[in-house]
Every structure is written in structure tokens, then in C-alpha cells.
Chains A and B, each alone.
Chain A
Amino acid sequence: MPLTPEALLARVEDVLGDKLIASRIAVGELTIEVKPEDWVEVAFALRDEPGLAFDLMMDLCGVDYSAYKDGAWQGARFAVVLHLLSVVKNQRLRVRTFCADDELPMLASLIDVWPAVNWFEREAFDLFGIVFEGHPDLRRILTDYGFIGHPFRKDFPISGHVEMRYDPELKRVVYQPVSIDPREVTPRIVREDNYGGDV
């Protein structure tokens, strides 16, 4: 049987000690937060400690918190969230860290811990502009060759900045500024608690 999130948290606390700066258990999932400077060290501990044994890196992604609750967010803008799975111990863990600098978010690469992070870090770099130090091949991965900007940041418009069309005179594909305006059909609304009764 897998551990309860509380028991797992106790084990993680034992291993990480004061490197663990926050933790949260919600909907049966454990989230821990660590400092960006401890990122690689924590990852090695989570992988190598026999009681934790997080041998599979499931997911790594960036999150841009700048528009959270319509701008009520205080604190660093970019987070990197890591989802780990232990096949041996049958347990899962979510690790989050906030990049120190909002202008140039940087974090050490986990490529030596789990080789699987390679493309996930490239994706977070491509979409959020988070630079992973020590990554051997930090190229864009999903966007076009020569793309400018980081499309998943909250200040990047959903329609983008450029569009592409075939120009019959030049006989090639050209880029031009977008000709459409993004249209919001359903507005985004954050309601106060218990609006319209309990769910």
C-alpha cells in the first residue's frame, strides 16, 4: 500500500530538514516547496534516499503566477513545478520552486538527476523563458524556428504577434503582424466564496 501523504511528508521532512520551506497537503496530494538554490541537491536526495526513491520524473513545467487571482499574487512570478513518481515505493510528490529573478528567471538544470527532464526543460524555456543552467542543449522545442517571445507567459496575447501567409508575388511564405483581435467570448470571473450556494 502506498503511504498516506502525511506519512510521506514526515519522511520528506526527515530527509530535507531545513531545505523544505513549505508544504501543503490537498486533495490527497503532497506539494513541497524548496529554495531555487537547493534545487539540484533536493532532487538528488529525493531520488537517492531509499525511503523516497523517486526514480521517475513524470513532469516538469513552468507556471506564470503574474495574473493569479486577477493580479492579487504577491511574490515571485515564475515557478517551476516538478512531478515525481516512485515506481518502487508507489508514491507521488510535487515539488515547486520560485525563480528568484522575474526579469531573467534562472534555475539549475536537473539533467544529471533525471535525464528525462531534457525536453521538459527545453519546453519550459521555450514557453516561459526560464533558463536552465547546465542544460546541454537548451533550444526552443515547440515553437517555430526563429520565434520571438515566450508564448505561455500571461502577458503574451492568445492571438500572438505575427501571422504567416503565402505571398504570391514573392512566391514564398511571409510573416506579418496579426490582423485579428483576440476576442473573449466568456469573461474570466473569480467569484467570492460560497457564491450561489455550496457546490
Chain B
Amino acid sequence: MADIRNYTINFGPQHPAAHGVLRLVLELDGEVIERADPHIGLLHRGTEKLAETKTFLQAVPYMDRLDYMSMMMNEHAYVMAIERLLGLQVPERAQYIRVMFDEITRILNHLLWLGTHALDVGAMTVFLYAFREREDLIDVYEAVTGARMHAAYYRPGGVYRDLPDRMPQYLVTRGKNEADLRRMNENRQGSVLDFIEDFTRRFPGCVDDYETLLTDNRIWKQRTVGIGVLTPERAKALGMTGPMLRGSGIVWDMRKQQPYEVYDRMDFEIPVGRTGDSYDRYLVRIEEMRESNKIIRQCVDWLKQNPGPVIVDNHKVAPPSRESMKSNMEELIHHFKLFTEGMHVPEGEAYAAVEHAKGEFGVYLVSDGANKPYRLKLRAPGFSHLAALDEMSRGHMIADVVAIIGTLDIVFGDIDR
């Protein structure tokens, strides 16, 4: 009998199921994976090195472009590291705004994950539903920051500006008549907070819709149950965090265990899985969306009742108002120095981490007292998760690799940095 040889195939870098630019070298025995070797770095832009040449403030927009599916959470970890070194106390309202936007971002991320994961596995419809809700949340991003994705909204010491009083409305175009517009603008009559509140009322029903499409779907279960199983011990050894760790049954969530901002005042639950397979991680993320929705609702209620400043009043780190800048010499100097030279962060090092939608996103910042970071290390959750792909896919069929990539929830912006 002739020898049966293993053969190697190249998956990506341009493959719709590779979620970006992943080149995967697969060694196969028939249709069974013997070894998976991810080649990453095709999107490496050297963010950490670039940040060393920029002032602290100029590096904030780079953070959006890391994990470009959960933009504000990346910024959050970065500004928290700076605040820790500076010893800044962020105003309460800014903390609530940050928590609210972190959770909005988590829903944005999970919706994208859900849509693309289902699409990879063969369910087209979920994608369309998920993107319908994403559109509303991206509109919130746009109303508050002016940008639909790369927000650059968080600042050391708070957030860039307060939430606007008016939600932008659709305008008459050739394609939309008056009756359509009235329907589309129905929930956009009030402020941004009203719009978000309306969203939180609708959203649990939307999650139910996704669940009717997938949770008991026979094909979905065949493709995900028992696929990519991680035992709790291996999940820890491989450095898993976030839903990947919780899917294996380990109760670990930074928002509960090491609360930052105002998470300790929020009422929410941490869903955990049992078997550590792709299906459990799916359930965990679905539940997380519901919990995020609860947190957003609590933040909206608080924010509606408690006006206040959204950024610190320390003009060494936050600019003075335009009015006082133009009427006051000292404020003018502060403004000028802040935007030419930038702020100086005291010598030292800090590691600030947030419970990112994908896991633990950490920023290790070393400062030597200059106006630029000395070293910035970004700890991306996807980096550890993708490293585990080899172990998770071994012994599975080639079609399962796609399901495993889907369940890892990877985005190359933060893996390659």
C-alpha cells in the first residue's frame, strides 16, 4: 500500500473566515488537523514604538485602531494607566460615561462576533440582525464623538465632552419620504440618553431573536458543541481571559474581582460555561450582552439625574475651556503648553487592565518623566487566544478550524498591534 503522507495547506491571509489577515499553515492528515501554525504580523504597525514618539495625548487615537471592534475599551486601559501614574481622580460623571460606553462597546463587539461567527459556520441571517442593532449603537458613537468607529473620546482625566442633548435625526432624501422618516426618527426625538434608554428596552428582545435562530438550532449545535474544548487547567495555562476563560467554568471577571471606575456599584451577573466548548462560549457571550444591557440601563438612569463635570479641572492634563483660555493669560499658557509640549507623566511604571470584550486588555506603561511614554506594552487578549489555536484545533476536522477561529473572537488590530 502506498504511504499516506501528511500535507500542508495555506489558509489565508486573504480568506473571509480568517477575520482579517491571518495566514494559517495547516498540516493535515486527510481532513484532520495535525498542526496549525498561525503566521501573524501582517497588520503589524508598530503601535507601541509609534507611541514612544508621540505625546501621551497624541497616542490616544492609536488605541482605537488596535482592536478596531471595541474601540473605546482600548482607550480606557490606556488612559487608566496614565491616570494611575499621575494619581488623577476622575469625576464621577466621567466614570459613569466610561462604564456606559465600555458596555456599549462590549455589545458592539459581541454583535460583530455573533454575526461573523454564525456567518463562518453557515448561518447568514444572524449577521443581518446583528448589524441592525450595531447600527443604532454606532449612531450613538457618532452622536457623542463625531466618529462612527475611531472615537478618540476618552482622555486622561475624563472624557472629551459631555453627552449631547439632542440625538441627530434622519433627513429627507430622495429615497425616504415623510412617513418613513417619522417612523425612523420616532426614538430620536430626545437626547442621546433617551435614545440609549430606548435601545436598552428593545435590545433584550433582539437577543431573544438571535437565540431563536441559533441556540436550539441543530446545525449550529453540530458545529459548535464539543468543538475546541478547553479544560479549566489548560485555559489557565494558555493564558486565556474573558469569555474564553469563563466558558471553561472559571469565575473571573475584572469588573467584579478587581472593579475599576464604578463597576462596584453596578448590579450584574457573570455568566460562566461548563464544558469549555465553542457552544458554551457562545452562551456566555450571549448572556454577557444581556448583562451589559442591564449595566447600560443603570448608567443611563444615573447620568440623567446627576449632571456634573466630565473631565478633571487640572489644566496640566486637561485643556481649559475656550472661553477662559481667551480671557485669561494663565489658561492660555496652559492650553499652549498642553497641546505643544504635552503633559508630563511622573517617572514610574503602571499596568492598567480592563475587562475588554475579548478578555483582559492591559497597558504596561513605563515613563521616565518625559512628555512621551518611554515604553508602552499592549497586552492584547487575542494574542494569547490565537496562540492556543494550535492546541485547540488539533485532531479536529478542517471545517472546525473555521468554527474555532470564530469562537476565539480574534481581531488582527490588537494581535498584530
Residues of A that sit less than 8 Å from B by CB: 2, 26-29, 31, 55-59, 61, 63-64, 67-69, 81, 83, 85, 87, 90, 92, 94, 114-116, 118-120, 140-144, 151-152, 158, 184, 186, 188-191, 195-197, 199
From B49-57, B65-73, B270-278, give the one contacting chain A.
B49-57
User: Which DSSP category, helix, strand, loop or mixed, fits chain A's interface?
Assistant: loop
List the B side residues contacting A64 at CB < 8 Å.
375
Interface residues of B in 104-159 (CB under 8 A from A): none
Q: Tell me the minimal C-beta distance from A148 to chain B in angstroms.
A: 15
Q: Tell me the minimal C-beta distance from A193 to chain B in angstroms.
A: 8
Residues of B that sit less than 8 Å from A by CB: 40-41, 44, 46, 48-50, 53-55, 58, 84-87, 236-239, 241, 245, 250, 252, 257-258, 314, 316-317, 337, 340-342, 344, 346-351, 353, 360, 362, 364, 366, 368-372, 374-375, 377, 379, 383-384, 386-387, 416-417
Whether the Cβ atoms of B360 and A115 lie closer than 8 Å is no
Whether the Cβ atoms of A151 and B239 lie closer than 8 Å is no
Supply 7 A–B pairs (Cβ within 8 Å), ascending by A. Answer: A27-B348, A58-B241, A119-B383, A120-B383, A142-B416, A142-B417, A199-B317
Q: Tell me the minimal C-beta distance from A87 to chain B in angstroms.
A: 5
Whether the Cβ atoms of B362 and A83 lie closer than 8 Å is yes
Whether the Cβ atoms of A188 and B49 lie closer than 8 Å is no
Known: A56-B236, A142-B44. 12 other contacts (CB 8 A): A2-B258, A55-B236, A59-B351, A59-B362, A63-B375, A85-B360, A143-B44, A186-B55, A186-B342, A188-B372, A196-B316, A196-B337
Whether the Cβ atoms of B368 and A68 lie closer than 8 Å is yes
Whether the Cβ atoms of A59 and B379 lie closer than 8 Å is yes
Across the two chains, which residue of chain A brings its CB closest to B317?
Answer: A199
Complex alpha-carbon distance, A199 and B377, angstroms = 25
Partner of B348, one of A26, A152, A195: A26
List the B side residues contacting A68 at CB < 8 Å.
368, 374
Complex alpha-carbon distance, A114 and B342, angstroms = 39
Whether the Cβ atoms of B40 and A90 lie closer than 8 Å is no
List the A side residues contacting B370 at CB < 8 Å.
188-190
Whether the Cβ atoms of B341 and A114 lie closer than 8 Å is no
Across the two chains, which residue of chain B brings its CB closest to A64?
Answer: B375
Across the two chains, which residue of chain B brings its CB closest to A115?
Answer: B237
